[in-house]
Structures are given as structure tokens and as C-alpha cells.
Amino acid sequence: MQHSSALNFRDFVDELVRDGDALIIDAEVDAHLEAAAIARRVYESRGPAPVFNRVKGAADGYRLMGAPAGMSGVDAGYGRIATHFGLPRASGPWAIVEHLVAAMSAVPISPRVVESGPVKEHVLTGGEVDLERFGVPTLHQQDGGRYFGTYGMHIVATPDGSWTSWSISRLMLRDSRSLVGPTIPTQHLGMIHRQWATLGKPTPWVFVLGAPPAAIAAAGMPLPERVNEDGYVGALVGEGVEVTKSELHDLMVPANAEIVVEGYIDHTATD
């Protein structure tokens, strides 16, 4: 299993805690507005990122982290962001951007396929699937629902397998077994979804929470069309990301991801 703040989300959290830039909170927090209010205050005050060990409404053992990429009150202020890439905490914005740009012109390093990993430790299928178990938070009072995905990444691939996209867009909980979110035609997720829809098929899809921090950062970047983010992440950190085959599809997922939700994007529903 890979270890580093850039390639392992638990290592990332542990490093932030050691550096005083994250705080473990054992007191129960309510997923309805309270957790989000604390995270918002952290963003505004540049406080340590809160890691809530007990979330009201979540099953035992399910945790929630706020402000994972917020500005910090220690070091240069960009330490939490630099830690995503395994860079020194004192790195400033120029050094971070130079690192990202250099990886764009470097030779991509393909992911390394492994047989299994921590992501396979607990697999729930069929009637065991219940998205409510995660204690999905309500972030703002005027929100139309609870957001399951704000710091996770979609993984989809073209029907011919020539392009795999890792991307970020928000997902809202619809019910215990389904989610809703945008597939905008001009974004990579929407482009690939349209290819599947043209074939009259739903899009094979997975969503990753607790992904390798460098991967989640790259998933939110505007890389060019048909560039595989997994190869860019390899160039960014200097080694291929360990991936393993998902349970439902041929899609490859980070082997040490915390949570992977698998399913399909409906090719007929629009609301």
C-alpha cells in the first residue's frame, strides 16, 4: 500500500494533525448544518481542519472532515494545499503552481494495477447499500438537499476505453440508493456521458471519497480534453498511483481510497 500525504488520505490527515493543522473532534456533531457551520468558521479564521469522529445520523465509525484544502494559520498559509502534493508545508503559491505546471509537461506515469487494497476491505452490495449510513451533511440552510459529494471525484471512461476522466462536481443525496448531480455537456464528465447515451446505454460510473489527495486535487484542475488525470497524478508525485478494478465495472479506482460508490449515470433521466 502506498504511503505519503499525496497518495494516502489517512497519511494526509495524520500529517495535518501532527503539524497542528487538523484537529480530531470526539464530541458528537450534527450533520444538519452544525458540521458545515464549524467548517465555515474554520475557513474564515484559518483554523485547523476539523475531523469529526462522531456524526449524528451516521453509522458508527463513519467520519467527516471539513476544510481539507482551506488556508492555514500556520507556516506560509498554504501548508494544507502543499501537503496534497507532498511538498514542504512552507511552500508558497508560486512554488505550488510551478510544481503543477512542471507535471503538465512531464511524461505521464501510468497508474500501477494491483490485485486489491484497503478499498476492498468492506464491500456492500444489493440490499446492503444505504447511502444514509454516511451521515450526509446539510451545508447551508437554503440548500435543496444534502450534499454527498463535495470533495470526492467521479471516474468514468469512454466506451472504447481510450479516455478515463477523474473529475469533481457536486452530488446531492436523492434517497438511500441514488444521487443526483450535473453532467454538463462542455465538461469532461458530460462529454463521456454523452458518448454512452448516444449508444443508448447508461454510463458506468464510480465516485471516490477519501481519494489520494494529489488525485482529488488533479480532478479539480482544468486539464485538456482526453488527458487522463491518473497519468498526470503519477507525473505530479513521481510514481504511478496504485489502482484496482472496481466491483461492478472495468473502471480502475485508487486502491487505498476510503469509500467508492459504484453505479451508473442514467442516460434518460434529466431531473
- Work out the average pLDDT over 235-255: 97
Alpha-carbon distance of 105 to 94, in angstroms, equals 17
> Which residues have C-beta within 8 Å of that of residue 100, sequence separation ≥ 6?
85, 221, 236
- The reported pTM is 0.95
Alpha-carbon distance of 47 to 166, in angstroms, equals 29
- Work out the average pLDDT over 23-30: 97
pLDDT of residue 76: 80
Q: Is the pLDDT at 59 greater than 90, yes or no? A: yes
Alpha-carbon distance of 153 to 155, in angstroms, equals 7
Q: What is the DSSP string of 122-137?
A: S---GGG--GGGB-PP
Q: Is the pLDDT at 215 greater than 70, yes or no? A: yes
- Work out the average pLDDT over 239-254: 97
pLDDT of residue 270: 76
Percent of the chain with pLDDT over 90: 96
Instruction: Identify the band that residue 82 occupies on the pLDDT scale cut at 50, 70 and 90.
Output: very high
Burial of 91 (0-12, 13-18, 19+ CB in 10 A): buried
Q: Running DSSP on this structure, what letter comes out for residue 27?
A: S
- Work out the average pLDDT over 45-73: 95
pLDDT in tens, 122-162: 999 999 999 999 999 999 999 999 999 999 999 999 999 99
pLDDT of residue 234: 97
Instruction: Identify the band that residue 269 occupies on the pLDDT scale cut at 50, 70 and 90.
Output: confident
Work out the mean pLDDT of the chain and round it to a whole number.
96
pLDDT in tens, 37-56: 999 999 999 999 999 999 99
pLDDT in tens, 179-203: 999 999 999 999 999 999 999 999 9
Identify which has the larger pLDDT, 270 or 241. Answer: 241
Alpha-carbon distance of 136 to 150, in angstroms, equals 11
Alpha-carbon distance of 207 to 146, in angstroms, equals 16
Q: Is the pLDDT at 63 greater than 90, yes or no? A: yes
Alpha-carbon distance of 231 to 104, in angstroms, equals 10
Cell numbers given for 79: 501548508
pLDDT of residue 29: 98
- DSSP reduced 3-state for 145: coil
pLDDT of residue 271: 64
